[in-house]
């Protein structure tokens, strides 16, 4: 008998019966979703709650009755929608017989690799074979084999193990949006591959390892390192962008061997970007420092903590507080940031800053939480990207935007280059860095044209701008419904960022859109909340380099690559009387400029709190062991503050430290940078996705990835011709000699030379004029 409807059924629910138990489920649900809600297990391989339904494995076959009549054949639970009065039998003889037969067919060609397969111990096929497989195979024919394909440095392939569930294909096409995998041929020739034998270049490619139910796709850097049961899972968060993706560190004896996603629907769902997944390799680089070192008579010597702290304290006291500059990385934790502020106050210095990659401080801008939360980006109808290569800046935020476009959202962009998006743009304006403000003013002019009053500070500039039909279409789309304006890193780090920020906020206010500004640094929002910025009369990060100090304290900073102007940073640090460095690494540049290096642990090795783009404070515990004598940063700062006998360092433990933390948010200003005309070529300097911090720059697998491009001068063909350059030429830019790459993504008037490369540290910063010559 079919399930009988109840009198109080909500209009969006239907009544069904699963194994004799009546339940109510949402209309439109598939049977497998209903049984998952009810806690009834159904075997499956191709089904994944985040992927489109394929119904290709047939492992989830169940018996279904409608109107008291059983359907003639078992139905796939993943592709059969529920209906009022439906009766589902998951453990009937008919259902179990079908499930066991499918399992037998799946195992026909599967190799007996379990003892040497990296998936062993956490394999869905092993689990299902135990529950639904035969103890002895009846298949006596020869098993098929499939040639493996090299798809890059991150994912290892063993395609003979593939059961053709197509989860990886659907992930790459529907989630990553890059269409780099497909299934080809039929029957026993059916294979999964890249069509043309190429590396997978998606920034989310590691997720195909997680969705693969067998050992066909595995973690290449982790290959043959350990068994699943040897690993201890420690909760942590990603620290290479401000999303704060939740993840698990899989450790053995304190060493991180693998990183996998930890579900959090509001942040990263069940996905993880490749840089969060594979960056742990950088934790064990050859130049990781495990003991304090001091420079004596020009020679570096390992020493004790007592001696190193004494040397550091003496160095910091040599110059007055007005001559001390404190520069910290924007991924520094709340606890460390607060202690650095206490140290600065105790030493009488107002020169403290974490905004190392900003060039424009006219409005004293700091990172703020998103107005439109990350989880709501999928629901927008229109987005305007300003100066943003979102795929590389925050990959999983871009994933949310990509999902929105699949639902019909329109995305417009104003960018200094034609960045490679994985979704179509409804409109774009690509201009050289020096023209970015003018392009945005034209958009603002279109907003004013429909009756919005411009703010006084922008009124004259907007009045002189000319909008076109594309600008008017963009404004109309933003006004039509739920919309967001996203200011990306190429805008935040622009030399006229105050203008871009003010205009973007005006456009958002005028159209009723949310305003989301991407923080530069994993804890930029948290440090801004704590007021880790210059005090009264203090110099910002750029001013500390332009007006060199006699002493510097560097915290988690790797010169010159972490600075907007690497050349200016090296010049200022080389000229300082003393430089105290708290660092996990001892790079050649740091050893050149520093006088003492105090080894500190990295985020996976410390107890810390970081604040993400939604303003969510996420606390983590130490998941791995720091090497040698390296210590958690807050402990080193406490010891240094105590040695200097400063107030605020009397606490005994982390709880005592956190009790003393108070928020001192910086007050914004309404200033705008002076606009100066730049003639000729201007440099576009973006930070490569896998070179944006010291850990990533040492992650060997990511460094071998195609997205980690070699240093080059990138010009469009017309601009190269105007400068007498052609393909194959080597180009001299300042002191650097680089190959020329003809790139249609670069607009006229611009040369794209990526930052954080050893060969280009002396080049002018982003937005500055640059002269090129044929070598």
The CATH number for 95's domain is: 3.10.20.740
Residue 671 domain-assigned (yes or no): no
Whether the per-residue pLDDT at 745 is higher than 90: the answer is yes
Tens digit of pLDDT for each residue in 201-217?
A: 999 999 999 999 999 99
Residue 113 domain-assigned (yes or no): no
Q: Spell out the residues 6+ positions from residue 715 whose beta carbon is closer than 8 angstroms to its own.
A: 723, 725, 740, 741, 742, 743, 746, 751, 752
Residue 8 domain-assigned (yes or no): no
Tens digit of pLDDT for each residue in 698-713?
A: 999 999 999 999 999 9
> Can you give the CATH number for the domain in which 458 is found?
3.40.228.10
Task: Give the helix/strand (H/E) hosting 347.
Answer: helix 334-347
Whether the per-residue pLDDT at 734 is higher than 90: the answer is no
The last residue of one of the domains, among 284, 301, 332, is: 284
pLDDT attached to residue 136: 87
Residue 310 domain-assigned (yes or no): yes
- Say whether both 157 and 280 belong to one domain: yes
- Say whether both 271 and 314 belong to one domain: no
Tens digit of pLDDT for each residue in 355-405?
A: 999 999 999 999 999 999 999 999 999 999 999 999 999 999 999 999 999
The last residue of one of the domains, among 267, 284, 301, is: 284
- Say whether both 594 and 724 belong to one domain: no
The helix/strand/coil state of 352 is strand
- Asked whether the CA dihedral 283, 289, 291, 294 is positive or negative, the reply is negative
Predicted confidence band at 8 (pLDDT cuts at 50, 70, 90)?
low
> Can you give the CATH number for the domain in which 319 is found?
3.40.50.740
Average pLDDT rounded to a whole number, residues 658-664: 92
- Say whether both 175 and 306 belong to one domain: no
- Say whether both 187 and 280 belong to one domain: yes
Are the C-beta atoms of 622 and 325 separated by less than 8 Å?
Answer: no
Tens digit of pLDDT for each residue in 295-327?
A: 999 999 999 999 999 999 999 999 999 999 999
Tally the domains of the chain: 5
Tens digit of pLDDT for each residue in 538-554?
A: 999 999 999 999 999 99
The Cα-based distances of 748 to 157, 308, 370, 715, 732 in angstroms read: 42, 52, 33, 8, 19
Name, of 109-123, 131-145, 338-352, the range with top average pLDDT: 338-352
Residue 665 domain-assigned (yes or no): no
Tens digit of pLDDT for each residue in 219-230?
A: 999 999 999 999
Residue 697 domain-assigned (yes or no): yes
Average pLDDT rounded to a whole number, residues 754-765: 92
The DSSP symbol for 413 reads E
> Can you give the CATH number for the domain in which 217 is found?
3.30.70.20
The helix/strand/coil state of 385 is strand
- Say whether both 71 and 94 belong to one domain: yes
- Say whether both 705 and 755 belong to one domain: yes
**Residue 683: closest CA among 613, 760, 752, 740:** 752
Length of the chain: 775
Tens digit of pLDDT for each residue in 472-507?
A: 999 999 999 899 999 999 999 999 999 999 999 999
- Say whether both 725 and 766 belong to one domain: yes
- Say whether both 94 and 56 belong to one domain: yes
Residue 562 domain-assigned (yes or no): yes
Average pLDDT rounded to a whole number, residues 714-720: 97
Q: Spell out the residues 6+ positions from residue 63 whose beta carbon is closer than 8 angstroms to its own.
A: 70, 71, 74, 75, 88, 89, 90, 92, 94, 95
The Cα-based distances of 226 to 213, 221, 456 in angstroms read: 19, 11, 63
The total of other beta-carbon atoms located within 10 Å of residue 709's CB is 15
pLDDT attached to residue 108: 93
Predicted confidence band at 775 (pLDDT cuts at 50, 70, 90)?
confident
- Say whether both 508 and 608 belong to one domain: no
Residue 677 domain-assigned (yes or no): no
DSSP per residue, 22-45: EEEEETT-BHHHHHHHHT-----S
- Say whether both 200 and 239 belong to one domain: yes
Chain-wide mean pLDDT for the chain?
95
Are the C-beta atoms of 363 and 672 separated by less than 8 Å?
Answer: yes
Interstrand relation of 217-219 and 617-620 (parallel, antiparallel or unpaired): unpaired
Are the C-beta atoms of 342 and 326 separated by less than 8 Å?
Answer: no
pLDDT attached to residue 2: 45
The last residue of one of the domains, among 490, 517, 544, is: 517
- Say whether both 274 and 353 belong to one domain: no
Interstrand relation of 682-684 and 750-752 (parallel, antiparallel or unpaired): parallel
Q: For residue 708, what are the domain limits? A: 682-774
pLDDT attached to residue 1: 39
């Amino acid at each position: 008998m079919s399930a009988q409807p109840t009198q109080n059924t909500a209009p969006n629910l239907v009544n069904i019966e699963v194994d004799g138990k009546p339940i109510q489920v949402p209309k439109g649900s598939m049977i497998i979703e209903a049984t998952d809600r009810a806690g009834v297990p159904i075997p499956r391989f191709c089904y994944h709650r985040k992927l489109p339904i394929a119904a290709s494995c047939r492992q989830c076959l169940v018996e279904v009755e409608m109107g008291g009549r059983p359907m003639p054949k078992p139905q796939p639970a993943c592709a059969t929608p529920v209906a009022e009065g439906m009766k589902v039998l998951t453990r009937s003889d008919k259902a179990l017989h079908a499930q066991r037969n499918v399992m037998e067919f799946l195992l026909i060609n599967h190799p007996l690799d379990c003892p040497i397969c990296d998936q062993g111990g956490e394999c869905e096929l092993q689990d299902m074979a135990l529950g639904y497989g035969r103890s002895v195979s009846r298949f006596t024919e020869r098993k098929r084999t499939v040639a493996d394909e090299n798809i890059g440095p991150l994912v290892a392939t063993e395609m003979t193990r593939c059961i053709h569930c197509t989860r990886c294909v659907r992930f790459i096409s529907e989630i990553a949006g890059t269409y780099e995998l497909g299934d080809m041929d039929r029957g026993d020739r059916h294979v999964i591959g890249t069509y043309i034998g190429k590396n997978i270049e998606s920034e989310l490619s590691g997720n195909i390892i997680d969705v693969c139910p067998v050992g066909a796709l595995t973690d290449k850097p982790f290959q043959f390192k350990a068994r699943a049961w040897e690993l201890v899972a420690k909760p942590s968060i990603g620290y290479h962008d401000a999303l704060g993706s939740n993840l698990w560190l899989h450790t053995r004896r304190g060493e991180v061997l693998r990183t996998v996603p930890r579900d959090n629907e509001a942040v990263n769902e069940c996905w993880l970007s490749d840089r969060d997944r594979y960056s742990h390799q950088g934790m064990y680089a050859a130049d990781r420092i495990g003991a304090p070192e001091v420079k004596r008579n020009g020679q570096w010597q390992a020493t004790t903590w007592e001696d190193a702290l004494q040397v550091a304290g003496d160095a910091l006291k040599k110059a007055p507080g007005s001559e001390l500059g404190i520069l910290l990385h924007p991924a520094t934790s709340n606890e460390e940031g607060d202690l650095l502020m206490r140290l600065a106050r105790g030493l009488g210095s107002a020169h403290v800053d974490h905004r190392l990659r900003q060039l424009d401080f006219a409005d004293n801008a700091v990172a703020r939480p998103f107005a439109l939360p990350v989880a709501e980006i999928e629901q927008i109808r229109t987005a305007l990207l300003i100066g943003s290569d979102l795929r590389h800046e925050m990959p999983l935020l871009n994933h949310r935007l990509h999902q929105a476009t699949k639902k019909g959202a329109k995305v417009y962009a104003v960018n200094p280059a034609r960045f490679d998006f994985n979704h179509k743009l409804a409109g774009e304006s690509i201009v050289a860095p020096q023209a970015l403000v003018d392009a945005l003013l034209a958009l603002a002019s279109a907003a004013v044209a429909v009756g919005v009053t411009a703010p006084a500070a922008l009124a004259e500039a907007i009045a002189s701008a000319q909008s076109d039909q594309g600008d008017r279409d963009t404004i109309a789309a933003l006004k039509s419904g739920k919309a967001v304006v996203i200011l990306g890193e190429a805008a935040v780090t622009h030399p006229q960022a105050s203008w871009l920020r003010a205009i973007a906020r005006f456009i958002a206010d005028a159209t009723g859109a949310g305003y989301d500004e991407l923080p530069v640094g994993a804890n930029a929002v948290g440090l801004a909340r704590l007021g880790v910025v210059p005090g009264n009369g203090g110099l910002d990060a750029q001013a500390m380099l332009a007006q060199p100090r006699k002493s510097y304290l560097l915290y988690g900073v790797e010169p010159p690559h972490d600075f907007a102007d690497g050349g200016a940073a090296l010049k200022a640090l080389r000229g300082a009387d003393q430089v105290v460095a708290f660092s996990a690494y001892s790079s050649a540049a740091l050893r050149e400029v520093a006088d003492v290096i105090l080894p500190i642990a990295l985020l996976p090795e410390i107890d810390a709190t970081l604040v993400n783009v939604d303003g969510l404070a996420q606390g983590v515990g130490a998941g791995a062991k720091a090497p040698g004598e390296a210590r958690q940063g807050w402990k080193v700062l406490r010891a240094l503050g105590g040695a200097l006998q400063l107030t605020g360092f009397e606490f005994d433990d982390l709880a005592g430290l956190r009790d003393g933390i108070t928020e001192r948010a910086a007050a914004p200003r309404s200033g705008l940078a002076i606009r100066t005309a730049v003639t000729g070529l201007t440099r576009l300097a973006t930070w490569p996705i896998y070179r944006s911090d010291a850990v990533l720059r040492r992650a060997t697998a990511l460094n071998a990835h195609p997205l980690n491009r070699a240093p080059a001068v990138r010009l469009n063909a017309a601009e190269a011709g105007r400068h007498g350059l052609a393909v194959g030429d080597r180009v001299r830019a300042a002191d650097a000699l680089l190959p020329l790459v003809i790139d249609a993504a670069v607009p006229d008037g611009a040369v794209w030379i990526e930052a954080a490369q050893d060969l280009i540290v002396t080049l002018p910063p982003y937005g500055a004029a640059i002269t090129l010559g044929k070598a």
